[in-house]
Amino acid sequence: MIVNSVNVAKKFVELLLVGAAGSVGAAAASKEVARRALRWLASPAELRDVHLSTLTKLWAMVIALESTGEAFDSSLELLGAPLPPVRDLVQLVEQVLGHAPQKPLARTALQWLVKQSPVEAVRLWPALLTPNKGSEKVELVDVRQLLELCAAHGLEFPPKLSQLVVRGLSDEVVAALCGSELPEARLAAIQALRERHGGSGSLEPPKELRALCVDNCTVVRSAARDVWLTLGGKQELWQQKKPEDAEEENEEEDA
């Protein structure tokens, strides 16, 4: 992406998309022109809101070209001071993620957004869990950070993950979800185990599912038992409860 021309009098910025065939020198020069346009749009701060929509769009396009997140913090200076309100910063990160950037850049952007709005960072975090290239997998570090973020701020784990993501989860990621204190994360683990083993032809359900069948959360426990039976699990002790145990569990569910 480049800035083709800037007309200060008409408050006009013409944007063009640079193809992969463009020369390195030309691309670098174009990025510098784009940065100058950003500085112009962001100054003075009192008039920045007039151009804010164009400013954030252009900024996101420029930043998304980076392969790492090393320049993210310094690039924020292009927005001028002080930074726009939080709602605009959220939109800023959302636009960057919309360009399917390299994972290091996406990670840096979301970690920065955590400081501005943990709730919005959690909402957008699935962008790190969705591979935008065939070779990319869900990384354990991203799952752990999301779990820690949700636990620290009392937030729910994001909604159901797509089948594409679930089937690519590593054993380490599934184990982290199974061991999480967040019920939603353990439900995600059950979903992953179901998707991974549903058509595997295995003679018995995965061992990770057994522990979730006696989970202290009723919803998790019920979901795990349903999947256990769906995957051909044999009758277990929890299916042969003594009357007093069944009564105790019913009281727990009523509570």
Q: Where are the domains of the chain?
A: 157-255
pLDDT score for 18: 45
User: What pLDDT is stored for residue 249 in this prediction?
Assistant: 52
Instruction: Supply the mean pLDDT for the chain.
Output: 78
Residue 206 burial (10 A CB sphere; 0-12, 13-18, 19+): buried
Average pLDDT over residues 212-221: 94
Asked whether the CA dihedral 163, 164, 165, 167 is positive or negative, the reply is positive
For Cα atoms 99, 70, 5, give the angle at the middle one, nearest 5 degrees: 55
Could you give the 3-state DSSP secondary structure of residue 42? Answer: coil
State the number of CA atoms in the 13 A half-sphere of 227 facing the CB: 29
Query: What is the model's pTM?
Result: 0.74
From 127, 130, 133, select the one nearest 113 (Cα to Cα).
Answer: 127
Assess contact for 78 and 39: CB atoms under 8 A.
yes
Look at residue 158 and tell me whether its pLDDT is greater than 50: yes
3-state secondary structure of 150: helix
Structure tokens at 51: 């151009």
140 to each of 11, 51, 61, how far by Cα in Å? 46, 39, 28
Q: Both tokens of residue 23?
A: 């020369």
